[in-house]
């Protein structure tokens, strides 16, 4: 199943997460879209748009299942993400830093993490689709929209919202996780 991984509690105490948290008023500072095979699409300020596999420990990550996105939609999303990787799409520094203030600095060939995740699931997530031409999504915004929609749809996955997932996205231990 596809899920949104939201990074919280920076384990390395780096400057970039501190800046993102300061500007977005949230503990959330990064998002990745994790596919059922454990691969995640990743907007890296060093490598651009790429694929990554990692452990999502519950202290540093909140994993929000997206059960309304089926297998067929997941395949389409992965194809779109693969196209971005093959096009060597780059990280969008200007959009990440200033996008919340000026929405007209959009560069269609560059992406920051939550913008990438929101664009990937837009067509299949009604609250994001209904937001129209909103282009700047903070990790906190995306976390809240997906979490609220998960609860609103009364999905069977709601009970797994506060769970720990291994690197393949499988539930391995129930945990309490801080909310956005």
Residue spans per domain, the chain = 3-174
Residues 6+ apart with CB under 8 A from 86: none
Residues 6+ apart with CB under 8 A from 19: none
> CA–CA separation, 128 vs 105, rounded Å?
20
Task: Choose from 53-67, 91-105, 147-161 the range with maximum mean pLDDT.
Answer: 53-67
Q: Which two tokens stand for residue 13?
A: 């105490």
163, pLDDT greater than 60:
no
Residue 38 falls in which region: left (phi positive, over 0), alpha (psi -120 to 50) or beta: left
> Residue 95: how many CB atoms within 10 A of its CB?
20
* % of the chain exceeding 70 in pLDDT: 76
162, pLDDT greater than 80:
no
117, pLDDT greater than 90:
yes
More confidently predicted of 178 and 16: 16
> CA–CA separation, 149 vs 66, rounded Å?
9
What does the pLDDT read at residue 106? 67
Task: Choose from 4-18, 69-83, 104-118, 164-178 the range with maximum mean pLDDT.
Answer: 69-83
């Amino acid at each position: 199943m596809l899920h949104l991984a939201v990074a919280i509690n920076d384990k390395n105490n780096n400057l970039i997460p501190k800046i993102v948290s300061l500007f977005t008023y949230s503990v959330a500072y990064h998002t990745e879209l994790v596919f059922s095979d454990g691969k995640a699409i990743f907007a890296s300020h060093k490598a651009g748009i790429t694929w990554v596999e990692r452990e999502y420990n519950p202290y540093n990550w909140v994993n929000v299942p997206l059960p309304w996105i089926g297998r067929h939609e997941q395949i389409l999303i992965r194809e779109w993400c693969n196209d971005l990787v093959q096009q060597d799409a780059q990280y969008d520094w200007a959009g990440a830093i200033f996008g919340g203030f000026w929405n007209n600095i959009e560069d269609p060939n560059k992406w920051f993490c939550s913008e990438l995740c929101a664009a990937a699931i837009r067509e299949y997530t009604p609250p994001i689709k209904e937001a129209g031409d909103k282009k700047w999504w903070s990790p906190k915004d995306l976390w809240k929209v997906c979490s609220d929609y998960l609860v609103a749809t009364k999905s069977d996955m709601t009970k797994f919202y506060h769970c720990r997932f291994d690197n393949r996205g499988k539930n391995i231990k129930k945990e309490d996780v801080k909310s956005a």
